[in-house]
């Protein structure tokens, strides 16, 4: 199993649930690309409320707006690998936000 250094990096990608890439959900494509690139792992989190650059509120309380809930994709790995991954996926993301921050990796286990 691959090891991660103690000084890792956290990539967060904020997009909408309805965002697409070649007809499929964008978040699914990003996770599959992260796996294909050999990154340590990825998790998609669905928000219950949020707004972005256009200041439109997205909430599950309003039926017509619940179709495009905010999503956050989190990926932890080495900074260099995440920066290369960002360069790869950047052209496919027309709206959203990506952040990188230091992450202290305490353990990375699995069977």
Task: List, for residues 53-98, the tens digit of each pLDDT value.
Answer: 766 666 666 555 456 789 999 999 999 999 999 999 999 999 999 9
**pLDDT band, residue 1 (cuts 50/70/90):** low
**Cα gap 5→99, rounded to integer Å:** 20
> Which residues are bridge partners to 20 per DSSP?
25
**Cα gap 98→103, rounded to integer Å:** 15
The architecture in CATH of the region 7-104 reads 2-Layer Sandwich (3.30)
pTM summary value: 0.86
Rounded to a whole number of angstroms, the distance between the first and last alpha carbons of the chain is 9
pLDDT in tens, 11-40: 999 999 999 999 999 999 999 999 999 999
């Amino acid at each position: 199993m691959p090891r991660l250094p103690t000084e890792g990096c956290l990539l967060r990608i904020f997009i909408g649930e309805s965002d697409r890439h070649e007809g499929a959900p964008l978040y699914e494509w990003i996770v599959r690309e992260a796996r294909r690139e050999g990154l340590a792992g990825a998790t998609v989190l669905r928000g219950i409320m949020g707004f972005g650059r256009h200041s439109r509120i997205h909430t599950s309380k309003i039926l017509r707006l619940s179709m495009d809930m905010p999503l956050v994709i989190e990926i932890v790995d080495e900074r260099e690998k995440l920066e290369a991954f960002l360069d790869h996926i950047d052209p496919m993301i027309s709206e959203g936000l990506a952040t990188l921050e230091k992450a202290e990796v305490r353990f990375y286990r699995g069977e």
